[in-house]
Structure 1
């Protein structure tokens, strides 16, 4: 396993535990304290996302035998982070709902005698516009996070492909060296065969000369 990945993993687990504890305490507080807690939680979530991205890059840079196990762990951490985000959003939404309800009730009680139907209609329209703006901001944030995650995945894939190309280049160099050695061996074998062939031709010629001399003396 990777020591770097293990370090990021320990940091994430500690941070996730702290975030869960802080989220559980939101129900018992309100006002400025609650806003401060939500701000701390959002900062912690950003830090957790950063750690997950670092773990993702580190896991994808390892060998396939190690990478598959670490990516499986990483999927669990991503699911855990998504659950934390949902819990924080629920707490923030309930807080906003309570504050908005209290403000509307106070405003309604103070202006019951003077508020008109047109004013109430304008208030409802303003509330709708605010809700729509909030939804658009949430969608933009979600798209940005998804795009960032895709970018991290692409970078990891490119790193793996680069390592594969480097290994392939080393292999080709080794094959080239082996081909050079084989070429030299074949050349030496060809030279030996040529020398052996010349020797054999010389021996045959010598034998023919000897046979011719023997026949000459016999016939004479």
Structure 2
């Protein structure tokens, strides 16, 4: 990992731990509605910070090489899922407290409208997260496709080089066979010439002996 990503990673883990603790602490404020409301608002802000940190980690990962980006993207996806789980827990508590009137008088239409807008914003944020996840999946798929294409190209080059070597070896084998054939033919001619010469010498010797005896 890079030093920048390491910094984001450490900050996110500390933030996620803090959010989890604060969500657990909400149940202890049953007799303190103002404190509960303040805590829930603070948790909402922390969740936004967590989402921003994840986006920063994702951007940092995208600036790195393919292998490192793939490794860090898996970590970012894990953090995104953990933050999504915390956000779901928060929304359940928030909606329950909305029904109980912690965030104001339910007869106040302006307060109701603000609460509905906040809930709608949270739902939109959830939809945006899903779209971001889909885009990341597409980007990762493109990275894998590019990697496979590059590997196939390298394999084609290796196969072509191997074919070239095979052709070269075959050509050398043909040339060697031709040379051996010519050498064999020359040997046969030399043997034939020697046999003819030996025959002529033998005839000459016989002739000489014949004339030496009968002359």
Q: TM-score range by the shorter chain?
A: 0.5 to 0.7
Instruction: Please tell me whether Structure 1 or Structure 2 has the larger radius of gyration of its CA atoms.
Output: 2
DSSP 3-state at the match of 2:202? helix
The count of aligned residue pairs is: 187
The match for 2:108 is: 110
- Mapped to 1, the partners of 2:42 and 2:194 lie a distance apart of 113
**1:22 corresponds to 2:34:** no
- In the TM superposition, residue 49 of structure 1 has moved relative to its aligned partner by 5.0
CA 1:86/1:32 → structure 2, altered by over 3 Å: closer, same or farther? closer
- In the TM superposition, residue 39 of structure 1 has moved relative to its aligned partner by 4.9
**C-alpha root-mean-square deviation of aligned residues, in Å?**
4.4
Structure 1: 5+ residue runs without aligned partners? Answer: 1-7, 60-73, 116-122
The higher-RCO structure (CA 8 Å, 6+ apart) is 1
Structure 2: 5+ residue runs without aligned partners? Answer: 23-38
- Mapped to 1, the partners of 2:122 and 2:45 lie a distance apart of 24
- In the TM superposition, residue 83 of structure 1 has moved relative to its aligned partner by 2.9
How big is each residue's C-alpha offset from its partner over 1:21-40, in whole Å with a ceiling of 9 and x where there is no partner? 23334447728854752452
The 8 Å contact of residues 38 and 92 in structure 1, kept in 2 or not, is answered as no
The match for 1:153 is: 144
TM-score, length basis structure 1: 0.59
The match for 1:184 is: 175
- Mapped to 1, the partners of 2:55 and 2:199 lie a distance apart of 103
- Mapped to 1, the partners of 2:128 and 2:169 lie a distance apart of 62
Of 154, 163, 174, the residue aligned with 1:163 is 154
Q: Within 5 A, what are the aligned runs for 1:1-220?
A: 8=1, 12-26=5-19, 27=22, 30=42, 33-34=45-46, 37-47=49-59, 50=62, 54-55=66-67, 74=71, 80-94=75-89, 101-102=97-98, 105-106=103-104, 108-111=106-109, 139-216=130-207, 218=210
TM-score, length basis structure 2: 0.60
DSSP 3-state at the match of 1:108? coil
- Mapped to 1, the partners of 2:4 and 2:170 lie a distance apart of 51
